[in-house]
Amino acid sequence: MRTHAHAEGAQYDAVHDTTALLSELLGRPEGWGARVRFWDGSVLGPQDAPATVVLLHPWSLRSMLWPPSGLTAGEAFIFGEVDVEGDLESLLRALAPVRDLEWRQPRRFAHLMRLLLRLPAPLSTPSHAHAASPSGSEHSKDRDRETVRHHYDLPTDFYRLWLDSRMQYSCGYFECDGCDLEAAQNAKLAHICRKLRLRPGDRLLDIGCGWGGLLEYAAEKHGVQGLGVTLSELQAAEANARFARAGLENRVLARVLDYRDVEGDFDAIVSVGMVEHVGAANLTQYFAKAFGLLRPGGVFLNHGITSAWSEPGSLRTSGFMGRYVFPDGELVPVSRMLGAAEEAGFEVRDVENLREHYAKTLRHWVARLRTNHDRAVLAADEVVYRIWLLYMSGCAYNFDRGVIGVCQSLLHKPNGGPSGLPPTRADWYDQTAETASAE
């Protein structure tokens, strides 16, 4: 155990050594993209910086950077070794010059790591109580149920704090710069339903229905009969309660069911934010299942996050996102996703990338989560709050710079003749069409 005198000595030396390391890494303090406040109260960096990194202990910087990985830095934040005041997304942007330094400048990186290891070692190791530890074969039905529930089975009240009234956990559709989150999410639902060409009495399947907001909207506005499937019991219960409150319980239903086990015949299928859980190796099976459930001439709108890389990006449990957020999640290029859809028999009719909309949506969510910090901690805990704050801020940054996208793909099941779809996109933006459909 450190003595008081040793700790004070380490503290004094660590301020000097930490400052030296930061200067080697980022240049002169006045040029840093963020301020840094040390455990002794001293501050370095530009006064007008949008974020302040708070190093709470002499070992805080070492906790963030050793061993070097996104997981290490994320754990230092979520477990309170460091704090961030202000805009977390702007901090990620300010650190961009040091991204991949290990590969771009290996000799300089090795020098910096030697300086880092002069700092005091942390007094404790991170707790993994909040980490996912799925068992079984990857993307087996049992393991998929386990990984989905890790993400979605937080208390419903936690999600209510920062989502819109229909609890849409996917990007909104901002039709104007000043549109708020509620308007953007309603516009997104309208946009999807117009693409699906829904009519009263249509049978609609929602794969990964979440808390039921899309099905509720489609039943209210377009008169559909609907089935939603999810692997989260909490989501299904909330969705069915939502349908009952709206008087729709005889028209739409949510079930706890794997998409691979769905049976029936549907006029239209939609999936929003679920394909990321399917796995690259299973994409053809996923689209083939949807193809088999859809009547000839029907359409499937698949909305999912895509990667900008040529190969699928797997969110393994060894990284921050895989360990704490989306275990077993996989992001694939849109080209690979569409190839799997075509292999299953679909005709690709339209693809729309909404990544700027998702960046804006995430910033709304982050602001609402920050505003409701105390209530979020009561609903979950401080670590969960920090996990979600970091995860959503990081996603906003990555959508903004184009590392990831989100694509709505409209897929048609051929029927041996004309598709029956509108000849131009203008129809999808004609809100009078939605009014006529509702009537």
The CATH code of the domain that includes 54 is 3.30.1050
- Domain membership flag for residue 320: yes
- Domain membership flag for residue 136: no
**Quick one: 149 and 49 in the same domain?**
no
pLDDT bracket for residue 8 (50, 70, 90): very low
**Quick one: 269 and 380 in the same domain?**
yes
Rounded distance between C-alpha atoms, residue 361 and residue 169, angstroms: 10
Q: Give pLDDT tens digits for 127-154.
A: 778 999 899 999 999 999 999 999 999 9
Which amino acid, 62? Answer: R
Give 109 or 435, the one with higher predicted confidence.
109
Q: At a CB cut-off of 8 Å and minimum separation 6, what does 304 contact?
A: 271, 272, 273, 274, 275, 276, 337, 406, 407
Separation in Å, CA 432 to CA 201, 216, 436: 19, 20, 6
**Quick one: 31 and 88 in the same domain?**
yes
**Quick one: 271 and 405 in the same domain?**
yes
Mean pLDDT of 113-121: 93
Residue 312 is predicted with a pLDDT of 55
- Cis omega before residue 67 (within 30°)? yes
Q: How many CA atoms lie within 13 A of 385 on its CB side?
A: 20
Mean pLDDT of 354-375: 98
Mean pLDDT of 415-428: 88
Taken as a whole, the chain contains a residue count of 439
Q: Give pLDDT tens digits for 293-337.
A: 999 999 999 999 999 876 555 555 568 999 999 999 999 999 999
Residue 11 is predicted with a pLDDT of 45
Residue 10 has pLDDT above 70, yes or no: no
Separation in Å, CA 419 to CA 12, 210, 298, 336, 380: 73, 30, 9, 24, 48
Q: Is 395 a catalytic residue?
A: yes
Residue 126 is predicted with a pLDDT of 77
**Quick one: 263 and 351 in the same domain?**
yes
Rounded distance between C-alpha atoms, residue 93 and residue 65, angstroms: 17
Where do the H-state alpha helices sit in 253-381?
Answer: 283-293, 320, 334-343, 355-371, 373-379
Q: Is 257 helix (H, G, I), strand (E, B) or coil?
A: coil
Mean pLDDT of 350-377: 98
- Domain membership flag for residue 434: yes
Residue 309 is predicted with a pLDDT of 75
The backbone torsions φ and ψ at residue 299, rounded to the nearest 5 degrees and listed phi first, read: -125, 150
**Quick one: 300 and 260 in the same domain?**
yes
DSSP letter for each residue of 180-208: -HHHHHHHHHHHHHHHHT--TT-EEEEET
Mean pLDDT of 183-212: 97
Beta strands per DSSP E along 62-101: 82-86
Rounded distance between C-alpha atoms, residue 340 and residue 202, angstroms: 26
Cα–chain-centroid distance for residue 250? Answer: 32
Residue 102 is predicted with a pLDDT of 79
Residue 9 is predicted with a pLDDT of 45
**Quick one: 168 and 43 in the same domain?**
no
Q: Give pLDDT tens digits for 247-279.
A: 999 999 999 999 999 999 999 999 999 999 999
Q: Are 92 and 397 in contact (CB under 8 A)?
A: yes
Residue 44 has pLDDT above 70, yes or no: yes
- The CATH number that applies at residue 206 is 3.40.50.150
Residue 432 has pLDDT above 70, yes or no: no
Residue 6 is predicted with a pLDDT of 40
Residue 132 is predicted with a pLDDT of 92
- Domain membership flag for residue 122: no
Cα–chain-centroid distance for residue 347? Answer: 28
Task: Supply 165's token pair.
Answer: 């009234």
- Domain membership flag for residue 429: yes
**70-84, 202-216, 301-315: least confident range:** 301-315
**Quick one: 111 and 186 in the same domain?**
no
**Quick one: 80 and 168 in the same domain?**
no
Q: At what angle do helices 181-196 and 213-222 cross, to 10 degrees?
A: 60
Out of 171, 209, 395, 407, the active site residue is 395
Residue 311 is predicted with a pLDDT of 55
pLDDT bracket for residue 407 (50, 70, 90): very high
Residue 13 has pLDDT above 90, yes or no: no
Mean pLDDT of 70-93: 95
Rounded distance between C-alpha atoms, residue 293 and residue 113, angstroms: 55
Residue 5 has pLDDT above 50, yes or no: no
**Number of neighbouring beta carbons within 10 Å of residue 150:** 21
Separation in Å, CA 168 to CA 93, 135, 248, 434: 27, 29, 18, 20
**Quick one: 102 and 164 in the same domain?**
no
Q: What average pLDDT does the chain have?
A: 92
**11-25, 79-93, 362-376: least confident range:** 11-25
Residue 318 is predicted with a pLDDT of 60
Residue 98 has pLDDT above 90, yes or no: no
Q: Which of 83, 116, 149 is the last residue of a domain?
A: 116
- Domain membership flag for residue 121: no
Structural domain including 16 reads 4-116
Q: Which of 55, 82, 116 is the last residue of a domain?
A: 116
**Quick one: 95 and 148 in the same domain?**
no
- Domain membership flag for residue 243: yes
pTM over 0.75: yes
**Quick one: 383 and 236 in the same domain?**
yes
Mean pLDDT of 216-228: 98
∠ CA 356-359-364, nearest 5°, is 130
- Domain membership flag for residue 245: yes
Residue 424 is predicted with a pLDDT of 87
Domain count, the chain: 2
